[in-house]
Each structure stands twice: as structure tokens, then as C-alpha cells.
């Protein structure tokens, strides 16, 4: 049985997992959370499968040792679609992954054409092929790798302005594919992207809905920790790999989520 001070570990390459944390806070406001951003490894999207698997499994192993979490969540589609199985084999705590929301998107679409935005590493995964075959059979799934959106989301949370040209390029790439003019549902298959939902809505125009996995992941974490004590969130911590300095500009945003400092892992 988990002790009340045992944290939940949320892991991402950067700030994307904060979209999961925001949903988790609605369900478990008092959960102590260690949010770990692998800023030294960001972005994952342009790395190879082997690099991502080794990095994520290694880091999560060391983090689990140091923080003794009751549960870990890989709040990153890229890391999950590649390394989830391996991490589950190595760690003895429950591991919650992030799965591109293709199933709910297939239930939502009226036109039968779904867009998917992710990192380059995510969009080429056989994991995504399997989700498409299982849940989007008879629909058309158009995928586009949009690494620029990861950078834009990181910049936005550091108080910088978002380059709309990058957002518009992602929308037009999907729109330009065969059948792309009929897209009515877009899967945000990278945890960074919901941070740009307003900008994406502007770029796609009316009639397009966005779906991501954050709320579902939060529900899964709440389910797996049901009945466990959560006395307060005071001991929550935000940790980064690499230079703490590179994250300082995030502090005003992090304060809204209850973190007052940034620590080095």
C-alpha cells in the first residue's frame, strides 16, 4: 500500500506533460507530484527509437530509485509509443502511458477524415498503425509530424509569443493531403500540443474539433490510486535534467500549477 507521502511521478521531455498535470489536479488536487522534464533530452521527436528507449528507461529507473513514487506516468506520446513496454518490464510500480486518442477521434468524426499531429518519431510508430487498424477502420487517418509545435509550446510557456506561421504550416500540411479538406477532428498526439489549442483552432478554422489523451490519462491515474491517501500537494516538486537556468522562464506558469521552485535532477 502506498504511503501518503509517496509521490506520483509525471515524466515528459519538456512541458507537455503539464497538460496531463492540469487534468490530474482536477481529480486529485492533493496528490504530491514530482514533475520531471528531461530538458537535456528535448526534443525526443527527432531521436531514434533506440535513443528514446534507452534514455527513457534509464532515466525513469533512476528517478524511481530517488523519488520512490507510488506510480509513474509517461506523459509523452513519443516516449510511450516506443518505451512503455520496456519501462513496465524494468520498474515494479504501475506505469501509465500516453496513447494517441485515435479511438475517441474515430467515434467523433462525422466526415470520416481524422488528422493526427505528433512528433516525427510518434507518427512513424507501428503502435499508431495498430491503433489505426483497430479503431479507425473504414476512416481515413492523415498523419503529420510537426516538431515546430513542440518548440512553439515550450516558447509559449516561457512567455514568448507563438509564431503563427509554424501553426499554420502544420494545419496546411494536413489540409493539403488527399481528403484533408474534409478533416473535422484532429488528434493532438503529443502532450505539448494542447497548449496550442487556441492557435491551432485559429489555423484550422471553424468545424474542426481537437482531441487529446490528457483527461483519460488523469482518470486512469485516479483509478489506479483509488483508496490511497493523498494528504496534501505541498511536497510537489518540479525537476529538470540539464541546466535549471534553461527552465527559469517557466516559473510564472509553474506557479499557477503550485510549483515554486525548479530543481535539478
Catalytic residues: 76, 190
In the complex, the smallest distance separating the C-beta of residue 16 from ligand DGL, rounded to whole angstroms, is: 3
Interacting span for ligand DGL (CB under 6 A) from 12-20, 53-61, 85-93, 203-211 = 12-20
- Shortest separation between residue 111's beta carbon and ligand DGL, angstroms: 26
Site for ligand DGL in 136-195 (CB under 6 A): 150, 190-192
Work out whether 16 is an interface residue with ligand DGL (CB under 6 A).
yes
d(CA 115, CA 180): 8
Please, which residues have CB within 8 angstroms of residue 110's CB and are 6 or more apart in sequence?
184
Told to check if 42 binds ligand DGL by CB under 6 A, we report yes
Asked if 122 touches ligand DGL (CB under 6 A), the answer is yes
Contact pick of 11, 20, 35, 43 for ligand DGL (by CB under 6 A): 43
Q: Which of 24, 77, 170, 211 binds ligand DGL (CB under 6 A)?
A: 77
Q: Which is nearer to ligand DGL, 42 or 95 (CB)?
A: 42
As a whole number of angstroms, the distance between CA 211 and CA 228 comes to 30
Residue nearer to ligand DGL on the CB measure, 32 or 43: 43
Q: From the CB of 45, what's the least distance to ligand DGL, in Å?
A: 3
Q: Segment near ligand DGL (CB under 6 A), from 22-30, 74-82, 207-215, 237-245? A: 74-82
Amino acid at each position: 500500500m502506498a504511503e501518503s507521502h509517496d509521490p506520483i511521478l509525471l515524466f515528459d521531455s519538456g512541458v507537455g506533460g503539464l497538460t496531463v498535470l492540469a487534468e490530474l489536479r482536477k481529480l486529485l488536487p492533493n496528490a504530491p507530484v514530482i514533475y520531471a522534464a528531461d530538458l537535456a533530452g528535448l526534443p525526443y521527436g527527432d531521436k531514434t527509437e533506440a535513443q528514446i528507449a534507452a534514455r527513457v528507461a534509464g532515466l525513469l529507473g533512476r528517478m524511481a530509485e530517488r523519488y520512490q513514487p507510488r506510480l509513474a506516468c509517461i506523459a509523452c506520446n513519443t516516449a510511450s509509443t516506443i518505451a512503455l513496454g520496456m519501462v513496465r518490464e524494468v520498474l515494479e510500480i504501475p506505469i501509465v502511458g500516453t496513447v494517441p486518442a485515435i479511438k475517441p477521434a474515430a467515434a467523433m468524426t462525422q466526415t470520416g477524415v481524422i488528422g493526427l499531429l505528433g512528433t516525427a518519431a510518434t507518427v512513424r510508430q507501428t503502435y499508431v498503425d495498430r491503433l489505426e487498424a483497430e479503431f479507425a477502420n473504414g476512416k481515413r487517418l492523415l498523419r503529420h509530424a510537426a516538431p515546430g509545435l513542440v518548440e512553439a509550446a515550450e516558447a509559449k510557456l516561457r512567455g514568448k509569443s507563438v509564431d503563427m506561421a509554424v501553426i499554420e504550416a502544420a494545419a496546411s500540411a494536413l489540409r493539403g493531403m488527399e481528403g484533408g479538406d474534409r478533416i473535422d477532428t484532429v488528434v493532438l498526439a503529443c502532450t505539448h500540443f494542447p497548449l496550442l489549442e487556441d492557435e491551432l483552432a485559429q489555423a484550422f478554422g471553424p468545424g474542426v474539433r481537437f482531441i487529446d489523451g490528457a483527461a483519460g490519462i488523469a482518470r486512469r491515474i485516479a483509478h489506479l490510486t483509488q483508496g490511497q491517501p493523498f494528504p496534501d500537494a505541498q511536497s510537489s516538486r518540479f525537476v529538470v535534467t540539464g541546466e535549471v537556468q534553461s527552465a527559469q522562464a517557466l516559473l510564472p506558469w509553474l506557479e499557477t500549477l503550485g510549483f515554486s521552485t525548479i530543481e535539478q535532477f
